[in-house]
Amino acid sequence: MSTAASTAPEVKKNYLNDHTGIWSWIYTLDHKRIGIMYLVSLFTFFFIAGLIALTMRYELMHAGASGLLTPKQYNVAFTLHGAMMVFLFIVPGIPATLGNFLLPLMIGAKDVAFPRMNLLSYYIYIVGAIMALVALLNPIDTGWTFYTPYSIQTGQGVVLMTAAAFVLGFSSILTGLNFIVTIHKLRAPGMHWMRLPLFVWATYATAGIQVLATPVVGINLLLLIMERTMGIGIFDPKLGGDPVLFQHLFWFYSHPVVYIMILPAFGIIGEIIPVFSRKPIFGYKAVVIASFSLALLGFFVWAHHMFVSGISDFSAATFSIITFGVAIPTAVKVFNWVSTMYRGSIRLDTPMLYAISFIFIFMVAGTTGIYLATLGVDVFYHDTYFVVAHFHYTMQGGAVIGLIAGLHFWFPKMSGKMYNEHIAKIGFVLVFIGFNLTFIPQFVLGMHGMPRRYFDYPPEFESLHFVSTIGAFMNGLGYAMAIFNLALTGLFGKVKAPRNPYDSLSLEWQTDSPPIHDNFETTPIITEWTYGYGTPVRDGTHH
Amino acid sequence: MFRFLPEQASTFAADVDWIHNWITDISVFFTVAIFGAAILFAIIWRRREGKDHATPQILGDHKLEAIWTIVPTLICVFVAVKGLVSYQDMRTPPANTLDISVTAEQFNWSFEYPNGKKTTNDITVPVGHPVKFIMRSKDVIHSFFIPAMRVKKDVLPSMFTTLWFEPIKTGSYQGFCTEYCGAGHSAMLFKVNVVSDAEYDRWLTDDSTEFMKSKMNAEDLGRALYEQKTCNTCHSIDGSMRIGPSFAKLWNKKEKLVDGTEVLVDENYIESSIVNPNAQVVAGYAPIMPSFEGQLSVDEIKALIAFIKGLEKTEVAPVAAVQAVAVAPVDRSKLKPEERGKILSQEKLCISCHSIDGSKVIGPSFKGIYGRKGKLVGGADYEVTDEYIKESILNPMAKVVDGYAPAMPPYAGQLSDDDINDIIAYLKTVK
């Protein structure tokens, strides 16, 4: 890029070319570069964990052993897949990548409040990721949930893995803290709270969970270490401990984490639909309130993972009722997205296709959650393929497809290039069909009573598993196309992106593509709401 | 729509399924309506010819938003209450339950009935009677799941958990372990046989040891146990060779052990061989017998001793005679090598552990064995060649296929090189 600058002196400086060389990345304090570094790291793990998923689907394609994996290796594979996807990819996920890149741009700031802490959080993430890999390759075969006492019996790796989660947690806490302070302190003049883009609101709600829930994993680790090194009985029944306590502490963190994964994805959808419909978001305040309701409720529903674990019937009833509370803000969000499209001028570009598909996927994710909140029905579905399909609809269909949608949407801003729209659309079709083909059969398997984490299964389940495997490979191919399309056009693409290819009113689009190091030439002054699309009408002018 | 739940075999099933199917219908309705609206909007108001048309700046509508907050809330309250009621039923067993004690361990289920009858991975219950399970794990967490009954409960090592149901239909139903418990998790299955009252009574008493003890003399009880505890899989009573020593003429015999010492087969040797089988292994056999410690009472061990003692008197057919029945006296030199090999595989009882139809017995099946590739215990690769077969016959412990026990006795000195070549020729033909 420096050569481009020398031959064409009119080329403007931007965050990618103002400093060059590897050290300019390693030492960078620029939130945009840190976001890109996270993006590359995260997708490396996504790629590995995705290949492991395909290996498992291959093993499950036919009844009986395929010869590819032994039962023990299969168990290691689903542990690797789950732990890497959750701890190294989806939890840091959208906040660390798009959050880092966009948050200061969206509120008109030069950077986050603590740029050095931001870089620190990245390196803590890398240290945690290395620890996790070392622990996982031990190998661990406990599943990503590390339930005691099996995890105590099966080797030392689990302590290192929890330590890795602890370290990764600090990365998460620092990011959350940084975002909270940034949103409070660095909003440009005129960027009132009620003018904030929904993605910022979602990131803010998420940051709260990151700061409050993550320390519990630390407590879990300390207790585990005390048990393993000092013989104090906490989780191990042989020492007088209670294995169900581990599940409580585990889910007290790991359920709110679900909202760390999904709220930012909601935020992305809330950005894309108004821009591509040329309409203001319908019920802005309701969408914001819904985000915070979800963040809050997320703390009080953890035991719905434990209805058949031996918790008291009173606890089960209480957690079931609170869990139903989650359905309402989720429903409100979906209704508001669809209403935003009403009488719009709808552009069906790739980000919008992903966003519309997200509505379907999240309807399925949400309504299948209703079954699992319903006590009598969850007794049947707990730990079956129904649960596997449900959480993949939220985690993959929600968080990952949300991230992919956002990457396509903000790609011109991030790279200064346009991606190939045809390949992106083919990728989208493969992802959408492949994803549903993978997991709809798994819902049906769950209805038949097929338990999860089974290396082998009775032959009557074979046809559904076969279809699911075909879908998984299609899904994988779709992601590969989508991501390589972005990566290759980003690196080598010739089509320059304008400042604002989608005519968005949001602040990040009002600066160069890619932005300069300080984001804006002069501090922007905001005079209007972010979503003022369309012609004002007499009815429905309140917000 | 989407009615895929298993058959309804307990009193809970209808209730659970009703609310389940109600959720399905309402979910499908809302998903189709809302996503349908999104698709419809995208079609009706799509941008045409690359130009935006004017759009109204609609910011919201309090009335609409109130409706789509309140309606889902009402639906959720209804579903939550129905779910609670069905759960309440599952947690409230009636007073007159048949109580079965369940012990889970990696990777099997043991059941004990009130009269002391024990079963493994197999439950028989009377139709129309409430059955309660009192469950405890010996090691890690397991979970007891019978889809047709719509019941599931974790089985913990730290406390007892219970579960009950009332079967309403006779039949055989599959049960699963649904809490991941290790390498054998997916094989930790059990069967639930729901039978009529009369059949249940017969089943419960017919082969129950209590019942047998009262009716049988020790020797007969021992014979029943010999079959019931599956001793017969590995120990013959007619002198024929199986995995372990035959019980025929075993009593009072001096056996040579693997460590070179001798032992007299008496009461104490038999008891120690049952409880701690691998302490004194007879020469020529592998130390593979599982311990039956805690599974047999002193009376039952006594009965088995009486049974083995009784076999001393029994006139058993000599081994040769058994073989003579199986193999017609033909001039073998006129046969093809593979035919000779086939006869040898029967004479030497290879086929009692190696099936020829692909089914898994004690050792790998002969079906399609030649040229087979796979993993050995320890992870090395193997391919079945002439050399591999020869080694496996002469020194079977050297290479054991992953998933099998090192149980095969060596045949060195029992088969000539020609015999082995015949067997190899035969194995090439088993496809």
* Residues of chain A contacting B152 with CB distance shorter than 8 Å: 308, 379-380, 382-383
* Residues of chain B contacting A385 with CB distance shorter than 8 Å: none
ipTM metric: 0.92
* Residues of chain A contacting B8 with CB distance shorter than 8 Å: none
Contact B176 A451 (CB under 8 A): yes
Contact B79 A339 (CB under 8 A): no
Domain B98-206 grouped into CATH 3.90.1150.10: no
CATH fold of B11-90 reads Helix Hairpins (1.10.287)
* Residues of chain A contacting B32 with CB distance shorter than 8 Å: none
CA distance A520 to A498: 16
**Residue B418 has what pLDDT?**
87
Q: What is the 3-state secondary structure (H, E, C) of chain B?
A: CCCCCCCCCEHHHHHHHHHHHHHHHHHHHHHHHHHHHHHHHHHHCECECCECCCCEECCCCHHHHHHHHHHHHHHHHHHHHHHHHHHHHHCCCCCCCEEEEEEEECCEEEEECCCCCEEECEEEEECCCCEEEEEEECCCCEEEEEHHHCEEEEECCCCCEEEEECECCCEEEEEEECCCCCCCHHHCCEEEEEECHHHHHHHHHHCCHHHHHHHCCHHHHHHHHHHHCCHHHCCCCCCCCCCCCCCCCCCCCEEEECCCCEEECCHHHHHHHHHCCCCCCECCCCCCCCCCCCCCCHHHHHHHHHHHHHCCCCCCCCHHHHHHHHCCCCCHHHCCHHHHHHHHHHHCCHHHCCCCCCCCCCCCCCCCCCCCEEEECCCCEEECCHHHHHHHHHCCCCCCECCCCCCCCCCCCCCCHHHHHHHHHHHHHCC
Contact A374 B19 (CB under 8 A): yes
Contact B145 A348 (CB under 8 A): no
**Quick check: A418 pLDDT over 50?**
yes
Residue B57 has its nearest CB partner, among A316, A373, A534, at A534
| pLDDT tens, position by position, A359-410 | 999 999 999 999 999 999 999 999 999 999 999 999 999 999 999 999 999 9
Residue B143 has its nearest CB partner, among A143, A308, A338, at A308
Residue A309 has its nearest CB partner, among B79, B154, B181, at B154
For B38, nearest residue in chain A (alpha carbons):
A338
Residue A310 has its nearest CB partner, among B34, B86, B161, at B161
Could you tell me the residue ranges of all domains in chain A? Answer: 2-510
CA distance A182 to A187: 7
Task: Encode chain B (431 residues) as per-residue pLDDT tens digits.
Answer: 678 999 999 999 999 999 999 999 999 999 999 999 999 999 999 998 888 899 999 999 999 999 999 999 999 999 999 999 999 999 999 999 999 999 999 889 999 998 888 888 999 999 999 999 999 999 999 999 999 999 999 999 988 999 999 999 999 999 999 999 998 999 899 999 999 999 999 888 866 555 555 556 778 888 888 887 778 878 888 877 777 888 888 888 888 888 888 888 888 888 888 888 888 888 878 777 878 877 787 778 888 888 888 887 665 544 433 333 344 556 777 788 888 888 888 777 787 778 887 777 678 888 888 888 888 887 888 889 988 998 888 888 788 888 777 777 777 777 888 889 999 999 988 88
Domain B327-429 grouped into CATH 3.10.20.30: no
| pLDDT tens, position by position, A7-33 | 445 567 899 988 889 999 999 999 999
Angstroms from B248 CA to nearest CA on chain A: 39
The model's pTM: 0.77
Could you tell me the residue ranges of all domains in chain B? Answer: 11-90, 98-206, 215-310, 327-429
* Residues of chain B contacting A457 with CB distance shorter than 8 Å: 186
* Residues of chain B contacting A356 with CB distance shorter than 8 Å: 38-39, 42
Q: What is the 3-state secondary structure (H, E, C) of A101-118?
A: HHHHHHHCCCCCCCHHHH
Q: Which conformational region is residue B252 in: left (phi greater than 0), alpha (psi within -120 to 50 degrees), or beta?
A: left
| pLDDT tens, position by position, A197-252 | 999 999 999 999 999 988 887 788 778 878 877 888 899 888 888 999 999 999 99
Contact A143 B30 (CB under 8 A): no
| pLDDT tens, position by position, A282-318 | 999 999 999 999 999 999 999 999 999 999 999 999 9
pLDDT band for A3, please (50, 70, 90 cuts).
very low
Contact B84 A310 (CB under 8 A): no
Contact A346 B41 (CB under 8 A): yes
* Residues of chain B contacting A345 with CB distance shorter than 8 Å: 45, 47, 52-55
Residue A328 has its nearest CB partner, among B76, B181, B402, at B76
B327-429 shares the fold of B215-310: yes
**Residue B239 has what pLDDT?**
78
> What's the CATH architecture for A2-510?
Up-down Bundle (1.20)
> What's the CATH architecture for B215-310?
Orthogonal Bundle (1.10)
Residue A375 has its nearest CB partner, among B38, B87, B182, at B87
- For residue A371, the one-letter residue type is Y
